[in-house]
């Protein structure tokens, strides 16, 4: 039983790979063999189900007096590992995030001692998930202080490679027989199984898929989704507090929705608190980032994370967008099966769905950021095919009929009028070149939006060409 529980810990431990020798802080964990990053996609792991799977397997073959002796044999361990593996693949994905844009890949490594770490991310953590009791009329199991171990195996600097593992240990008792044992079954290592997160007891120092790079996080890039009024916008929701940087100009909360549908916004001063859904306003499509600061919020899987933001905010958010559906496991083998079954066969199950009804009768309707029917930036109903809100995004709940419009007016920017003199001349070309070469200063007061002549979200030689064509009358 314990082994099974510990394995559930292993799942979480994968995140711990980011726990490099620099100690407590934010990291990303990248697999050496595949280049994929560990991404926390859900928080459905349930150690009680895993333990029950192992327990039923052991019970099937052995008496309660032998449970903690035989758990490492035939039925118990394989069943628990299989069940834990299914949970892990639902909770943890391997993703290509070379652009460093996914909050789900940001891991907070909280050092316990030496090479031991608690791994935290997306409002949950390894220790939180693996701490607790599993009690029946015959068996008591207690788990706590299950930390991941991260050890350097080779390389130096940014090329340092790590081995991430978990020692499977637990304590249990059979009260009716006055039996109490502490059991250490073995060590599980994390690996990338061809695009899926996995665990193995057979670590290979020659297999790159068993090794990890641990990259410190100094910033997370933000890719805004909508352009309006000369600026770019995105909604955002993370479990960690952060400051905005680069071309992100403001973070807004939604303070109120007027009777006419006007969405009233209020700028958040200073850093954005953890678990605070916001609207981000950017001056460009590129060059936008946030900087994580402080520890993330960690709560029980059944709890709703709260924010320390004290102002009014009608925005809602979610960390996960999982729609895998209910999964069932055979109690004796741990193998996945298609139906619930009977109490003596495949009765163990869990619901992997994280669906949020977007238009259910009798409940508030959900609206996401978009362009309204009148062509303005606001909040609109999701496409009818959407069955869950996007991860790390924000939305509004609204039961009215008015169009939800943000109080943002379109700017009247003359493309190419970089120096703001009302015309497009060779002086603007000079100003644009200075911007591209990094020679522009704040005192120049250049119009950065006008400098993006071709409106591709950046300022480059392509904009110089477009501006010259405008001056020569070769384009509209």
Residue 26 bridge partners (DSSP)? 108
Token representation of residue 465? 């060409």
Using CA atoms, how far apart are residues 146 and 396, in angstroms rounded to an integer? 38
Q: C-alpha angle with apex 82: 79 to 86, nearest 5 degrees?
A: 140
CA angle 460, 463, 469 (to 5 degrees): 150
Looking at the structure, tell me whether residues 206 and 103 fall in a common domain. Answer: yes
* Within-domain flag for 15: yes
Angular region, 178: left φ>0, alpha ψ -120 to 50, beta rest: left
Instruction: Give the tokens for residue 101.
Output: 């844009």
DSSP string, 273-336: PTT--EEEEESSSSSEEEEE-SPPP---TTSPP-----S----EEES---EEEEEEE-TTT--E
| Both structure tokens of 433 | 């070149």
What pLDDT is stored for residue 18 in this prediction?
36
Residues 157, 226, single domain; the answer is: no
- Residues 173 and 146 reside in one and the same domain: yes
Q: How far apart are CA 13 and CA 117, in angstroms?
A: 9
- Residue 60 confidence (pLDDT): 46
Q: Clarify whether residues 445 and 387 are in a common domain.
A: no
Indicate if 175 and 159 belong to the same structural domain: yes
- Same structural domain for residues 253 and 367? yes
* Distant-in-sequence, close-in-space partners of 203: CB < 8 Å, separation ≥ 6: 163, 165, 187, 189, 210
Rounded to whole angstroms, the Cα distance separating 102 from 172 reads: 39
Matching residue, tokens 């930390």: 147
Q: Are residues 332 and 456 in the same domain?
A: no
Round to whole Å and give the CA distance between 460 and 294: 36
54 and 119, same domain (yes or no): yes
From the CB of residue 418, how many other CB atoms can be counted at a distance below 10 Å? 31
β-pairing, 393-398 vs 132-135, is unpaired
Residue 461 within any structural domain of the chain: yes
* Structural domain harbouring 285: 220-319+355-405
User: What was the pLDDT predicted at 409?
Assistant: 74
Q: What angle do CA 351, 357, 361 make, to 5 degrees?
A: 130
Q: Give mean pLDDT in consecutive 10-residue pieces for the chain, a chain of 476 residues.
A: 33 36 88 95 75 56 45 57 76 93 95 90 85 66 80 90 81 66 70 88 91 94 88 95 95 97 96 98 91 92 89 94 75 70 62 65 80 92 80 93 88 79 89 91 80 87 90 74
The count of structural domains within the chain is 3
Answer yes or no: is 389 within a domain.
Answer: yes
Is position 412 within any domain? no
191 domain residue, yes or no = yes
Question: Are 378 and 437 part of one and the same domain?
Answer: no
* pLDDT at residue 436, as a whole number: 92
Question: Is residue 251 located within the same domain as residue 159?
Answer: no
Q: Is 430 found in the same domain as 305?
A: no
Within a domain: 415: no
Q: What is the DSSP string of 237-248?
A: --SS-EEEEETE
Instruction: Tell me the backbone φ, ψ of residue 302, rounded to 5 degrees.
Output: -90, -5
| Model pLDDT, residue 303 | 84
Query: Are 347 and 373 found together in one domain?
Result: no
Structural domain includes residue 413: no
pTM: 0.78
């Amino acid at each position: 039983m314990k082994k099974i529980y510990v394995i559930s810990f292993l799942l979480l431990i994968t995140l711990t790979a980011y726990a490099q020798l620099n100690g407590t802080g934010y990291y990303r964990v990248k697999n050496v063999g595949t280049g994929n990053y560990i991404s926390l996609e859900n928080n459905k792991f349930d150690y009680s189900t895993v333990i029950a799977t192992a327990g039923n397997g052991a019970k099937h073959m052995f008496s309660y007096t032998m449970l903690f002796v035989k758990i490492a044999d035939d039925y118990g361990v394989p069943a628990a590992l299989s069940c834990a593996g299914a949970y892990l693949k639902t909770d943890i994905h391997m993703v290509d995030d070379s652009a460093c844009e996914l909050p789900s890949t940001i891991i907070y490594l909280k050092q316990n001692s030496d090479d031991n770490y608690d791994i935290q991310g997306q409002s949950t953590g390894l220790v939180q998930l693996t701490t607790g009791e599993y009690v029946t009329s015959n068996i008591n199991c207690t788990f706590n202080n299950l930390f991941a171990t991260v050890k350097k195996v080779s390389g130096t600097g940014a090329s340092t490679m790590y081995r991430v593992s978990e020692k499977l240990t637990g304590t249990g008792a059979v009260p009716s027989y006055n039996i109490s044992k502490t059991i250490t079954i073995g060590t599980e290592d994390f690996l990338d199984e061809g695009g899926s997160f996995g665990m193995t007891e057979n670590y290979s120092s020659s297999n790159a898929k068993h090794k990890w790079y641990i990259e410190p996080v100094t910033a997370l890039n933000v890719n805004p989704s909508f352009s309006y009024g000369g600026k770019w916008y995105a909604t955002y929701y993370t479990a960690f507090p952060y400051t905005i940087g680069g071309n992100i100009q403001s973070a807004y909360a939604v303070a109120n929705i007027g009777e006419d549908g006007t969405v009233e916004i209020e700028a958040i001063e200073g850093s954005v608190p953890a678990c605070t859904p916001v609207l981000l306003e950017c001056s460009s499509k590129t060059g936008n980032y946030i900087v994580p600061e402080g520890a993330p919020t960690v709560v029980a899987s059944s709890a709703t994370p709260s924010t320390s933001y004290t102002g009014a905010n009608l925005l809602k958010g979610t960390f996960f967008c999982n729609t895998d559906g209910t999964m069932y496991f055979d109690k004796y083998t741990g193998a996945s099966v298609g139906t619930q079954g009977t109490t003596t066969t495949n009765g163990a199950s869990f619901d992997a769905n994280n669906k949020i009804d977007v238009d259910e009768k009798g409940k508030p309707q959900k609206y996401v950021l978009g362009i309204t029917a009148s062509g303005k930036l606001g909040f609109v109903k999701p496409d009818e095919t959407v069955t869950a809100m996007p991860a790390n995004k924000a939305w509004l709940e609204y039961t009215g009929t008015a169009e939800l419009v943000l109080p943002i007016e379109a700017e009247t920017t003359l493309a190419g009028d970089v120096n703001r003199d009302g015309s497009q001349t060779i002086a603007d070309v000079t100003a644009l070149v200075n911007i591209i070469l990094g020679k522009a200063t704040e005192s120049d007061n250049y119009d950065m939006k006008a400098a993006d002549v071709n409106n591709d979200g950046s300022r480059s030689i392509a904009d110089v060409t477009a501006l010259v064509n405008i001056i020569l009358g070769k384009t509209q």
